[in-house]
């Protein structure tokens, strides 16, 4: 995510005295987030750990994480964008309509109090989860929260971080970004990268039936995607690389078993704050790693006629 005001978890551990989680449930989904990075640890500038920090949780329902919070704000489902926008206005000292604020499930007094806390802290952080980025408004919500944090920097230091789930999903954003310039859904069919979410996103491609072969790496769309997408995967040649025979493997033409990342396959994985970590596998797998298999497929494709003219064939030697 380019352009966001962010920090590493180490910086947050040592500096953040105001911590907000929006639409996420770290107590159950990221169990050691509180104890290792945010709430509990004693930091360089927070010698008393938890006592020096304030934590606010915003969500549509009271999850297990609410017990760890100093303040829990229950908002109406689908009203995230409205609440963020009202908060941005209050932070800037602009008037807001009480009736409109009331629709979000939060009173204007609470909103003013929240804005005051955010402006008065020394170092604030907003972690936002899928409860924000996957509900009504989607990426507009993420953009709004990033803007809120950016604007708060007029008063104090403020950063935002998305609560990324799944193992190395951050890594795939990073690797695609430094290779193609875009983080996901990159179309290379013209020989140069094109990016258009909604057009080149997997679900849309599969539901429309645009693709005619799929390589699935460390995912199980056969278990999670909508039915028309699964049917298209079964209709066209699908290749799966996975440590297990998955639902997708069963409808695929080719499955190759690979070593499990981090358990028996070495390499690098990105943490949610975009810090790369080396893996230290404890077991030796009888199977090859994903990397080895991908490189073998590249070699096998390279033995065939090129799909587009290769650079060497276009160069003239004088």
Partner 1 sequence: MIRTAPASQDGLTIVPHATCTFCGCVCDDIELHAQGDRIVRAKSACSLGESWFKYHTAERNYPDALIDGQPATVDAAVERAAEYLHAAHMPLIYGLSNVTCEAQRGAVSLAELIGAVIDSHTSL
Site residues for partner 1, 189-248, by CB under 8 A, read 189-191, 197, 200-203, 205-206, 210-219, 221, 237, 239, 241, 243-245
Total residues contacting ligand SF4 (rule CB under 6 A)?
A: 3
CB of 203 to ligand SF4, least distance (A): 26
253 contact choice in partner 1, ligand SF4, none (CB below 5 to 8 Å, kind-dependent): partner 1
Angle among Cα 180, 166, 57 to the nearest 5 degrees reads 110
At residue 39, the 3 state secondary structure works out as coil
Structure tokens belonging to residue 193: 């990268």
| Of residues 91 and 293, the one with the C-beta less far from partner 1 | 293
187 scored as a contact of partner 1 (CB under 8 A): yes
CB of 89 to ligand SF4, least distance (A): 36
| Of residues 154 and 283, the one with the C-beta less far from partner 1 | 283
Give the torsion sign (CA, 34, 36, 38, 44).
positive
Structure tokens belonging to residue 120: 């008065």
| Of residues 74 and 268, the one with the C-beta less far from partner 1 | 268
Q: What is the dihedral of CA 232, 237, 241, 247, to 10 degrees?
A: 40
Tell me the C-alpha distance between 49 and 36, whole Å: 11
Closest CA to 252 of 210, 226, 223: 223
CB of 138 to partner 1, least distance (A): 11
275, HSE (Cβ side, Cα atoms, 13 Å) = 9
313 scored as a contact of partner 1 (CB under 8 A): no
Q: Which of 47, 307, 311, 314 binds partner 1 (CB under 8 A)?
A: 307
Tell me the C-alpha distance between 296 and 303, whole Å: 11
Give the torsion sign (CA, 16, 51, 116, 59).
positive
Tell me the C-alpha distance between 91 and 85, whole Å: 10
Q: What is the dihedral of CA 219, 223, 225, 226, to 10 degrees?
A: 170
Residue list 202-241, contact with ligand SF4 (CB under 6 A)? none
CB of 26 to ligand SF4, least distance (A): 9
Place of tokens 């997408």: 229
CB of 4 to partner 1, least distance (A): 14
Residue list 86-115, contact with partner 1 (CB under 8 A)? none
30 scored as a contact of ligand SF4 (CB under 6 A): yes
Total residues contacting partner 1 (rule CB under 8 A)?
A: 107
CB of 29 to ligand SF4, least distance (A): 9
Let me know if 223 is exposed, middle or buried by CB neighbors in 10 A (0-12, 13-18, 19+).
exposed
262 scored as a contact of partner 1 (CB under 8 A): yes
CB of 151 to partner 1, least distance (A): 25
Closest CA to 168 of 270, 275, 290: 270
Q: Which of 166, 227, 309, 311 binds partner 1 (CB under 8 A)?
A: 166
| Of residues 117 and 180, the one with the C-beta less far from partner 1 | 180
| Of residues 80 and 242, the one with the C-beta less far from partner 1 | 242
Q: Which residues of the shown chain bind ligand SF4 in the complex (CB under 6 A)?
A: 30-32
């Amino acid at each position: 995510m380019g352009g966001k005001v962010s920090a590493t978890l180490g910086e947050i551990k040592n500096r953040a005295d105001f911590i907000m989680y929006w639409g996420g449930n770290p107590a159950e989904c990221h169990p050691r987030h509180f104890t290792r990075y945010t709430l509990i640890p004693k930091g360089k500038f927070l010698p008393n750990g938890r006592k020096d920090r304030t934590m606010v949780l915003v969500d549509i329902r009271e999850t297990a994480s609410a017990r760890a919070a100093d303040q829990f704000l229950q908002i109406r489902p689908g009203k995230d964008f409205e609440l963020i926008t009202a908060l941005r206005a209050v932070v800037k000292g602009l008037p807001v309509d009480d009736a409109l604020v009331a629709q979000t499930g939060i009173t204007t007094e609470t909103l003013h109090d929240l804005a005051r806390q955010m402006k008065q802290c020394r170092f604030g952080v907003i972690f936002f989860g899928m409860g924000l980025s996957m509900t009504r408004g989607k990426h507009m919500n993420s953009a709004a929260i990033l803007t809120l944090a950016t604007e708060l920097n007029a008063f104090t230091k403020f950063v935002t971080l998305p609560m990324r789930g799944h193992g190395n999903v951050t890594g795939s954003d990073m690797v695609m970004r430094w290779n193609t310039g875009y983080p996901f859904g990159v179309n290379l069919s013209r020989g140069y990268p094109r990016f258009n979410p909604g057009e080149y996103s997997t679900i849309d491609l599969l539901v429309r039936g645009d693709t005619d072969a799929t390589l699935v790496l460390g995912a199980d769309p056969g278990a999670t995607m909508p039915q028309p997408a699964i049917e298209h995967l079964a209709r066209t040649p699908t290749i799966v690389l996975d440590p297990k025979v998955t639902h997708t493997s069963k409808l695929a033409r080719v499955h190759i078993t690979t070593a499990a990342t981090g358990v028996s396959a070495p390499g690098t994985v990105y943490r949610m704050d975009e810090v790369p970590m080396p893996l230290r596998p404890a077991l030796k797998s009888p199977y090859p790693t994903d990397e080895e298999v991908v490189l073998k497929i590249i070699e096998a494709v390279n033995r065939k006629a090129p799909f587009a003219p290769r650079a060497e064939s276009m160069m003239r030697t004088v």
